[in-house]
Structure 1
């Protein structure tokens, strides 16, 4: 199996631990953060959605600097990150939407241009039969073997021998499907671009990274 890597957010200046905000189709100063009650938000991950040409990213953060941030069933990426993605495209398996990024008070909070990235396809790379994990009390083992639904915590991850057809992708797994994964080719291009706000970790270290981030909730 080829080495696979995960893009993991790294909280620091301009990179919140959990972003406090919304995606909305327009900005209203009297109601800047409305419920995200849109058909495209309810659309299941892995299916193409009918997005508008652009969206508003309205947050309570004072500063956003990250080039990559998984949130809202997708990923917020900077223009620099998106350009590398476009250079590695082999098929139409994702959608991108331009974002107008402001604070809840309508102020500019970033010098970067952002886009919302959402995938229309997922890769079944995790071998659940070989992987080691803890299950939720009500887990259905058939669902576990299909998409990892019902897994509370991974102990060790094994991948199958089915390689993704692209240099980057998301996994068909309910614990990790919001993160971007890639092979070493895409990883190298991102590293050479000196982008900000995340680490690139080998898939074998994912259980440790996940448990550290969510240990208060598992």
Structure 2
């Protein structure tokens, strides 16, 4: 059995991040487009490597969560990252993340990082066990939505994402990873089994 992270309503844990990510802070940067080559690439072009340090500029008043999906990646706390680093994974890019308001004042209650997985490093869609999952398909054969997800047992990593558009933003956990993250008593996220994918909001 595999697991995923669902959103859990906690104080200072938004469902949507109101902000932008840049490589550095400057007055007015909140209104600047996110057009850097590490965030924006053309069709069939790979994104440039993630910088080592980034700044999230937000109008939200305060953040105090362990895991939040945003900006085609995930914002994670230091303690989440430390747990992640003990797990068996494929390649993920990680940057230190400073979080400030448009005036440059910190709104984070703990150290944060931004992590993402480029498409080439994700698990292929065929790790989905279509015989055990409940999936609605389009006439073209593409997946329309997933009500209940079962992942094949031959996946060798503990923490991964799947190259399937309907699962964009979801991360998946082996039983070992699920146990490690449950022990953290995560703020803003909770571990649930993948059979609930169609009925939850992803963290």
Q: TM-score, normalised by structure 2?
A: 0.85
Change (3 A) 1:128 1:90: closer
Among 23, 26, 29, the alignment partner of 1:28 is: 26
Q: How does 1:98-177 map to 2 (within 5 A)?
A: 98-120=96-118, 121-124=121-124, 125-128=127-130, 131-135=133-137, 140-141=140-141, 144=142, 148=143, 151=144, 153-161=145-153, 163-177=154-168
Seen in structure 2, the aligned counterparts of structure 1 residues 183 and 130 have a Cα distance that, compared at 3 Å, is: closer
Count of residue correspondences: 196
**Structure having greater relative contact order (Cα 8 Å, sep ≥ 6):** 2
The CA deviation at 1:66 is: 0.9
SS in 1 for 2:85: helix
When residues 181 and 90 of structure 1 are mapped into structure 2, their CA distance, relative to the original with a 3 A threshold, is closer
Report how far residue 135 of structure 1 moved. Answer: 5.0
Extract unaligned runs of 5+ from structure 2.
Answer: none
The residue number in structure 1 matching 2:72 is: 73
Contact 1:33 1:58 in 2 (8 A): no
Where in structure 2 are the equivalents of 1:167-206 lying within 5 Å? 167-206=158-197
Q: TM-score, normalised by structure 1?
A: 0.80
- Cα distance change on mapping 1:84 and 1:48 into 2, 3 Å: farther
RMSD of Structure 2 on Structure 1 (CA): 2.4
Q: Which segments of 5 or more consecutive residues in structure 1 lack a partner in the other structure?
A: 214-218
Kept in 1: contact 2:89–2:160 (CA 8 A): no
Query: Using a 3 Å threshold, how does the CA distance of structure 1 residues 36 and 196 change in structure 2: closer, same or farther?
Result: same
* Alpha-carbon contact 2:7-2:200 (below 8 Å) kept: no
